[in-house]
Amino acid sequence: MSKRIEINDLDVYYGAFKAVEGVSLEIEPRSVTAFIGPSGCGKSTVLRTINRMHEVIAGAYVDGEILLDGANLYGSGVDPVNVRRQIGMVFQRPNPFPTMTIRENVLAGVLLNNRRMSKGDQDDLVERSLRGANLWNEVKDRLGIPGSGLSGGQQQRLCIARAIAVSPDVLLMDEPCSALDPISTLAIEDLIEELKQEYTIVIVTHNMQQASRVSDKTAFFNIAGTGKPGKLIEYDETTRIFSNPSVQSTEDYVSGRFG
Amino acid sequence: MSKRIEINDLDVYYGAFKAVEGVSLEIEPRSVTAFIGPSGCGKSTVLRTINRMHEVIAGAYVDGEILLDGANLYGSGVDPVNVRRQIGMVFQRPNPFPTMTIRENVLAGVLLNNRRMSKGDQDDLVERSLRGANLWNEVKDRLGIPGSGLSGGQQQRLCIARAIAVSPDVLLMDEPCSALDPISTLAIEDLIEELKQEYTIVIVTHNMQQASRVSDKTAFFNIAGTGKPGKLIEYDETTRIFSNPSVQSTEDYVSGRFG
Amino acid sequence: MTTTISAPRQAQNPLTAGQLPRWSPWATLLAALLVGAAVAGLIAGASGAQFSIVTTAVIGFVLYLVAITVVSQLIEGGRKATDRFVTGLVTGAFLLALIPLVSLVVTVVANGLARFDLEFFTYSMRNVVGEGGGVLHAIVGTLLVTLWAAIISVPVGIFTAIYLVEYGKGKLAKAITFFVDVMTGIPSIVAGLFAYALFALFFGEGVRSGIGGAVALSLLMIPTVVRSTEEMLKLVPNDLREASLALGVPKWLTIAKVVLPTALAGIVTGVTLAVARVIGETAPLLIIAGFTTNMNYNVFDGRMMTLPVFAYNQYVSPGVQEQAYFDRAWAAALILILIVMILNIVARLIAHFFAPKAGR
Amino acid sequence: MTTAAPAATTRASAPNRPADVIFKAVSTTAGVLILIALAGVAIFLVAQAVPAIIGPLPDDDSFWAWVWPLTFGTLWSAFLAMVMAVPMAIAIALFITHFAPRRLASILGYAIDLLAAIPSVIYGLWGIAVLAPFMQPAYAWLAENLGWIPLFSPPASGTGRTILTAAIVLAVMVLPIITALCREIFLQTPRLNEEASLALGATRWEMIRMAVLPHGRSGIIASSILGLGRALGETMAVAMVLASAGAVTFVVVGSQNPSTIAANIALRFPEAHGITVNMLIGSGLVLFAITLLVNAISRWIIAKTTVDGGR
Amino acid sequence: ANESGADEAAPEGSQAAGSSLSGDLAGAGASSMGAAQEAWIAGFQTENPDVNVTYDPAGSGAGREQFIAGGVSFAGSDAYLKDEELEGEFGACVPDTLPVDLPVYISPIAVIFNVEGVDSLNMDASTIAKIFSGQITSWDDPAIAEQNEGVELPATPIQPVHRSDDSGTTENFTEYLAATAAADWTEGVFETWPSSVYSTSEGAQGTSGVVDAVSNGTGTIGYADASRAGDLGTVALKVGEEYVPFTADAAAAAVDASPRVEGRHEGDIAVELDRTTTEAGVYPLVLISYAIACSEYQDAEAGELVKAYLSYVASEEGQAAGQENAGNAPISDELRDEILAVVDSIQ
Ligand SMILES: Nc1ncnc2c1ncn2[C@@H]1O[C@H](COP(=O)(O)OP(=O)(O)OP(=O)(O)O)[C@@H](O)[C@H]1O
Ligand SMILES: Nc1ncnc2c1ncn2[C@@H]1O[C@H](COP(=O)(O)OP(=O)(O)OP(=O)(O)O)[C@@H](O)[C@H]1O
Ligand SMILES: [Mg+2]
Ligand SMILES: [Mg+2]
Ligand SMILES: O=P([O-])([O-])[O-]
């Protein structure tokens, strides 16, 4: 299921503005990679290019390539819709579909694509996904209530269940815990630990403790100033980044001297 | 100019929901106090009660008292407009008035009280406030452009200039750097250091490094779970909170074991 | 909150600079109204005219504004005084706006109730002379014509709004936005003349039909539908679009299955407003839908009576038993308003059941 | 931001899905359909108006001389209506969004919305039966005591069915349109800006002046234009209420009132034949042109007064 | 509930069972006839349950226009077809046949006023002309007072009200004044009150508008179809040496006393109203409305329906029904015979 990602010399533009410059990195399957860095350095931007979600923003485009198990996501003839089906995404703010029940939310990837599936298969999928997102026990008796009736942390796990229900190879998470309270945060961190068995996971976080707790490797991005493009400063084993980074600004950042 | 704040057994409600319970603390004049804690624990809520800004939210009310140099902010006959003039506030996202120029933004609060200020006095005040916010050199040649034309960090400093232009006694800041890049963040932290000479400052921050860098005392808030009220867990010298807190959960939080 | 200590504390509390007690605006208002009544009484006495509530209210209101502003100025200072003045003004404006509303509703209800009987809802005007008769034919006509107007304008309006919000960026979108606004300014009678000319082109002179009326009404309805739907679609958080796209759902399905359902409640409300806007149109229907006393269920053939045309006609050419005609006119107007209200309530119910459920 | 992309980038390589293409095409078609319908109206108006414009007309007048008093009346009545309705609507919208208790506010808002749903014939009936007799004594008083002001030159109308009465009816009719939009706009004032001004120690009104009104300015203009469109084009209510004489006068209390284009069409059309039909539709064209102009001007004003919010 | 064939409203003795007519018949035209047409349609449909007749009171001009275009089978009009109209084509008629004007609706026009405590006044044409032209501006003017001895007239200003739309009523009213008081009424005959003249008078839309304006105003005076005079004060016109209040008989008498228009084609009955008559008991301020129909229809079925309908309209029963609902004056028997003869020849 999980796949390797290779980013080669990636520049990302918002119209005329170059937001990110020269990013290259390789992400192993079945691993958790954390993107850290100060605000505005381009973490989210890079993350979104991995499943071509940046294209949703008018005027955004990339230069460079991203390979998924060797296949270029930006090759000609590649359908972004297919890319996104293989590379799921979880956002900063939980965003269950407000018009759908919990069950429908989990099935959204299937239902919205007009795919036919027997009731039994649907039930299976719902249970499997909700279990996968550690939410099954909490909601199994009220699958029919609206998804927005859950607490923030539950909503976020519902979004994760929704993302994994389409069996992606990769799961991208953009600050999935930043709107959650500490208990929910811990639940999600535990979940990431489990999901790693099956998926390649990339997570953006502002919280360095979280990065050091959940990730195998960490990429540190930085920005020289407002209006300058963000750059990948250092990419290494998480333990190394937090204990003995090779670049001074990484050291400054993780030790809290700025940011 | 600066004043002492005393919070006595404060509960804050949003309608029927008790968001914060039993907060008591004393803040010395000319000091910087940091509020830290996980998301949703009520830091912003408590901060806003200090200048009665919570009243802007429908259904919000407090139980308890807050004294400013001994005068109860919630005493009968106290006009919140007066309170807010003495206790300034800076918000998480920079919010200059989009239709006003830089100059007008700085003067916005002053002109309310003193319509007939001479042009010369106005110029003086604009310069003084912008210097106080470390922004003068960057904008002195373009005071006539809209405030929204500045970068995020500059906007935030503009908001600080606007707040100090009315010569408040106290300055409240709710995560003033969380939307800013590292360079702007450092500029604001330096500024806080200077402002402390004249104002009593209370700052909410998610960033523990920032708390330890800028504050004299730190208050740690926590929450038992979603739907429970937030509580003040520990309030002490910043150095003590970060090196040797007396409560276990504070220790856990500052050492990054959760949150 | 204890009264015992508040007095001394207030004396030293620097935050309590002059404030009027909470009841003072009400007291001032009462006093002002009393003075107003006295003055109105004097005027009435002097001129022999009737005591005027209007004079009382006007004098009372002006007095209140002056008094509260002056008192506040003296005790609380200029800024507070301005605030109180504006508060008074704004509230006064609101109450003033309620007067025509109440007057209209009262007039319509008072006059309309006379013929609010079973016969009125079950009879047409076929073979009715003088008293009696009903508006079943006009109710049916209004419902059919409006329904068809909605059938024409709702899809066009919604798809246009979708184009503007989800696709349009360039000159075409700008042009559409501009001309939709221009379209709101088409006088209804011109819409009727246009629809007539259009139908006469195909079906010959003298053509009259319900569908023609529906076309005329669509012209008036479309801009409202576009505008309100556009606003509603803009309110759908981008989060949801992104969530759907990130699941590998194509854009059109995202719009059809996520964006539209989320905005549904708002769109329904907008459509209801648009229907309300046109359901009472008279001039275009007089021209193109025609006039009949008979039942007609077929919008594609023959004249079709509608409630506004009925009300207008009853008013314009009554027979000797005038009152019977006027009663029917007002009753028809009342029914029209009731239909709009029912539509509104239905829309609200739909909005209530389909609205995105608020979290927690 | 429509900067041309550097050539070598992979900006749009996705193959288009048929369903996506169709959906987009349908949406675009709908938009274009509106333009076509409008073009149809314009062509119809022009084609019908040309014989009247090139004349000759029955009274040897030029078309423009004939249409001028009507144009004047249309603009004057709409102007009077807007002078009353816009401040009222802003005040009501402010009352509902910022002054009234919230629960009450939504009910009251609904009540005002209901005004929009009342058919114009009923406004006409109400105007004749209730409003005009109610206003008549006031007009008599104005003409008697303030007659030196040109607006109130005596003699006053004996029935009260003056242009001012018609304008009041129009104002009541457009009020809900403007109010509804202003309400939405005021509600969307960024909280941040409202709070910023309150935190500076502003009173409620000062907050409105600093944050709400500047933010809503373009919206107020836009909604007023929508209302103005309705006021310019309203037919039946004006035809029924106004004692029109086609005069060009600013007096608002007299018997001799200007007529409006739309009302005049309604009055004359039933008996019109031959060239008069062309004249009437020609006046409709003039009204259409006015609407177009008003919209264009308002857009221009909005574009000029809106300070660009972005960085 | 009243739509079904067997109608409870059907008068006893109706020949409903015997009727073989069916189909739709559409007419349009003068609003003055609206109420009368309603009564005629009801009566006719009751006799012929399978027929649907509609009459759109859109206005005389619109009616004639639609009739000429062939949109309707018959028209109602306050004026007979003009010569230039007769030169053109008629959509529903057989080419080169001329349509006929039939005076089926006669109604007095009342001069109505609203002065507190006064129910009726006597006036001669010149006084009325002076009032509407703004030469008499107060109710206690001697010109009014001397014709109304014993009536208490207040010093209120007079507010005349006229029709602001194009109107046959206005045309008849001004024709009366121009014919009988030319010295005081200098602007002649018009259908639309011009904005430039007699500008003390105030416009109102339609008969109802005038009636409303007069009843809601103070010191107002106007003119309207007599059936709408209601509780308002009305004027008795000076004819010869007498003051004649309007009555149905007096109005019908006015028509009988009037000659026909010269030079009309065969079958056409256009009346040249004599406004200046001094005959006793005649009320010369009347309005005639014509039914206009083809003499030969392209569509024979339509011809049959029109023929049957107009026969009913002109019949004693039809005229009585009209009077009952619309307050118009029934046509005299001589006129009826004349009309029925023409109707019978319609093909
Ligand atoms: N839609 C957009 N249009 C234009 N510029 C954008 C857009 N989104 C982001 N940017 C710019 O791109 C740069 C990188 O933004 P990005 O959101 O990737 O940063 P980030 O590291 O995720 O920050 P944060 O921690 O605040 O989420 C910033 O300068 C930002 O202003
Ligand atoms: N306007 C509001 N209405 C109702 N509840 C609110 C409102 N604002 C905050 N709350 C609730 O009050 C509690 C405290 O919120 P508060 O915003 O003070 O937390 P915080 O510590 O500032 O969190 P953060 O770090 O995310 O800013 C939370 O449970 C929140 O859901
Ligand atoms: Mg981000
Ligand atoms: Mg907060
Ligand atoms: O019958 P008229 O409406 O033309 O007076």
Residue B38 Cα to ligand 4 middle (Å): 9
CA angle A95, A98, A101 (to 5 degrees): 105
Q: If you search the block for the tokens 């014709």, which residue do you land on?
A: E147
Whether C5 shows a pLDDT value over 50: the answer reads no
Strand partners for B8: B65
Task: Say which of E24, E71, E325 has its CB closest to residue C130.
Answer: E325
Task: Say which of B72, B81, B112 has its CB closest to residue C13.
Answer: B72
pLDDT at D13: 43
Please give, rounded to a whole number of angstroms, the shortest distance from the CA of B101 to a CA of chain C: 23
Q: How many residues does chain C have?
A: 360
Q: Could you report the per-residue pLDDT of C282-324, keeping only the tens digit for each?
A: 889 988 888 888 888 888 888 889 999 999 888 888 888 888 8
Mean of per-residue pLDDT scores for chain C: 84
Per-residue pLDDT band at C2 (split at 50, 70, 90): very low
In the chain, the amino acid numbered E100 is V
Secondary structure of residue E54 in the 3-state scheme = strand
pLDDT at D94: 92
Per-residue pLDDT band at A241 (split at 50, 70, 90): very high
Q: Is the CB of A49 under 6 A from ligand 1?
A: no
| DSSP codes of every residue in chain A | ----EEEEEEEEEETTEEEEEEEEEEE-TT-EEEEE-STTSSHHHHHHHHTTGGGGSTTEEEEEEEEETTEETTSTT--HHHHHHHEEEE-SS----TTSBHHHHHHHHHHTTT----HHHHHHHHHHHHHHTT-HHHHGGGTTSBGGGS-HHHHHHHHHHHHHHT--SEEEEESTTTTS-HHHHHHHHHHHHHHTTTSEEEEE-S-HHHHHHH-SEEEEEEESSTTSPEEEEEEEEHHHHHHS-SSHHHHHHHTTS--
From CA E125, how far away is CA C243, in angstroms rounded?
Answer: 84
Residue E280 has φ and ψ, to the nearest 5°, of -70, 145
Task: Say which of C156, C191, C250 has its CB closest to residue D30.
Answer: C156
Q: Give the number of the atom of ligand 2 that is nearest the alpha carbon of residue B12.
A: 12
| Chain B residue set in contact with C, beta carbons under 8 Å | 68, 70-73, 75-79, 81-83, 86, 112-113
Task: Say which of A99, A113, A148 has its CB closest to residue C261.
Answer: A99
Q: Could you report the per-residue pLDDT of E41-78, keeping only the tens digit for each?
A: 989 988 888 888 989 888 888 888 889 888 899 999 98
Per-residue pLDDT band at C12 (split at 50, 70, 90): low
- Ligand 5 mutation pick, E207, E228, E290, max ligand atoms within 8 A of CB: E207
Secondary structure of residue B71 in the 3-state scheme = strand
Q: Is the CB of A226 under 6 A from ligand 1?
A: no
Instruction: Judge: A79–D17 Cβ closer than 8 Å, yes or no.
Output: yes
Rank A178-182, C173-177, C286-290 by mean pLDDT and report only the highest: C173-177
Q: Is the CB of E295 under 6 A from ligand 5?
A: no
Please give, rounded to a whole number of angstroms, the shortest distance from the CA of B44 to a CA of chain D: 14
Whether C108 shows a pLDDT value over 80: the answer reads yes
pLDDT at C11: 45
Q: Could you report the per-residue pLDDT of A221-239, keeping only the tens digit for each?
A: 998 876 789 999 999 999 9
Q: Subunits touching B (CB < 8 Å, at least 3 pairs)?
A: A, C, D
Residue B118 has a CB neighbour count (10 Å cut-off) of 8
Nearest residue of chain A to residue D14 (CA atoms) = A79
Rank C143-152, D140-149, E88-97 by mean pLDDT and report only the highest: C143-152
Is C120-353 a CATH 1.10.3720.10 domain? yes
Residue B229 Cα to ligand 4 middle (Å): 14
Instruction: Judge: A39–B179 Cβ closer than 8 Å, yes or no.
Output: yes
Residue nearest to atom 26 of ligand 1 (CA): A39
Contacts of E55 in chain C (CB under 8 A): 291
Please give, rounded to a whole number of angstroms, the shortest distance from the CA of A128 to a CA of chain C: 17
Element (H or E) spanning E38, and its range? helix E34-47
Whose CA is closest to C227, among C148, C165, C150? C165
Contacts of A55 in chain D (CB under 8 A): 14
pLDDT at B152: 78
Residues of chain B with pLDDT under 50: none
D257: DSSP letter: B
For chain D, how big is the Rg over CA atoms in Å?
24
Q: How many residues does chain E have?
A: 347
pLDDT at C173: 92
Class of residue D64 by CB neighbours under 10 A (exposed 0-12, middle 13-18, buried 19+): exposed
Residue nearest to atom 9 of ligand 2 (CA): B45
Contacts of A41 in chain B (CB under 8 A): 181
Contacts of E159 in chain D (CB under 8 A): 157-159, 255
Residue E321 has φ and ψ, to the nearest 5°, of -60, -40
| Chain A residue set in contact with C, beta carbons under 8 Å | 51, 53, 56, 58, 81-86, 88-89, 91, 93, 95, 97-99, 108-109, 111-114, 146, 148-152, 155, 159, 162-163, 166
Q: Model ipTM? A: 0.84
pLDDT at A233: 93
Quick one: which ligand is closest to B40's CA?
2
Whose CA is closest to D280, among D115, D85, D58? D58
pLDDT at D70: 93
Whether A255 shows a pLDDT value over 80: the answer reads no
pLDDT at E17: 47
* Measured distance between the N- and C-terminal CA atoms of chain C, rounded to whole angstroms: 33
Q: Specify the fold of B5-254.
A: Rossmann fold (3.40.50)
pLDDT at B236: 92
Rounded to two decimals, what is the model's pTM? Answer: 0.86
Question: Which of these ranges, A233-247, C64-78, D224-238, E202-216, has the smallest mean pLDDT?
Answer: C64-78
Q: If you search the block for the tokens 């968001």, which residue do you land on?
A: B19
Q: Could you report the per-residue pLDDT of D157-207, keeping only the tens digit for each?
A: 888 899 999 999 999 999 988 888 888 888 888 888 888 888 888 888 889
CA dist D202 to B83, B102, C248, C322, D199, Å?
11, 19, 49, 61, 7
Residue C360 Cα to ligand 3 middle (Å): 26
- Ligand 2 mutation pick, B36, B43, B48, max ligand atoms within 8 A of CB: B43
Instruction: Judge: C250–D20 Cβ closer than 8 Å, yes or no.
Output: yes
Rounded to the nearest 10 degrees, how much is the dihedral formed by the CA atoms of C164, C167, C173, C178? 10
Secondary structure of residue E75 in the 3-state scheme = strand
Please give, rounded to a whole number of angstroms, the shortest distance from the CA of D6 to a CA of chain A: 9
Q: Is the CB of A91 under 6 A from ligand 1?
A: no
Q: Give the number of the atom of ligand 1 that is nearest the alpha carbon of residue A175.
A: 27
Element (H or E) spanning D236, and its range? helix D236-241
Instruction: Give the pair of three-digit tokens for residue D90.
Output: 């802003």
pLDDT at C65: 87
Q: Is the CB of A176 under 6 A from ligand 1?
A: no
Q: Could you report the per-residue pLDDT of D212-223, keeping only the tens digit for each?
A: 988 888 888 888
Nearest residue of chain D to residue E137 (CA atoms) = D155
CA dist D138 to C58, C97, D20, Å?
13, 19, 63
Residue nearest to atom 30 of ligand 2 (CA): B40
Q: Is the CB of E328 under 6 A from ligand 5?
A: no
Residue A42 Cα to ligand 1 middle (Å): 6
Q: Subunits touching E (CB < 8 Å, at least 3 pairs)?
A: C, D
* C170 in A contact zone (CB under 8 Å): no
Whether D3 shows a pLDDT value over 70: the answer reads no
Q: Could you report the per-residue pLDDT of C236-271, keeping only the tens digit for each?
A: 888 889 999 998 889 999 999 899 988 888 888 888
- Ligand 2 mutation pick, B14, B50, B222, max ligand atoms within 8 A of CB: B14
Whether C51 shows a pLDDT value over 50: the answer reads yes
D209: DSSP letter: I
Instruction: Judge: D193–B95 Cβ closer than 8 Å, yes or no.
Output: yes
Residue B66 has a CB neighbour count (10 Å cut-off) of 22
Please give, rounded to a whole number of angstroms, the shortest distance from the CA of D208 to a CA of chain A: 31
Task: Give yes or no for a contact between B217 and B200, defined as CB atoms under 8 angstroms apart.
Answer: no
Instruction: Give the pair of three-digit tokens for residue C330.
Output: 């007002």
B146: DSSP letter: B
- The full set of domain ranges for chain C reads 24-114, 120-353
Q: Determine if the peptide bond prior to A38 is cis (ω within 30°).
A: no
Class of residue B168 by CB neighbours under 10 A (exposed 0-12, middle 13-18, buried 19+): buried
CATH number for D55-309 (one of 3.30.300.90, 1.10.3720.10, 1.10.1200.10, 3.40.50.10140): it is: 1.10.3720.10
Nearest residue of chain B to residue A154 (CA atoms) = B226
Secondary structure of residue D171 in the 3-state scheme = helix
Residue C359 Cα to ligand 2 middle (Å): 14
Residue E289 has φ and ψ, to the nearest 5°, of -115, 140
Handedness of CA A154, A156, A160, A165 (dihedral sign): positive
Give the residue-averaged pLDDT of E233-257.
89
Whether E288 shows a pLDDT value over 60: the answer reads yes
Instruction: Give the pair of three-digit tokens for residue D260.
Output: 């409006």
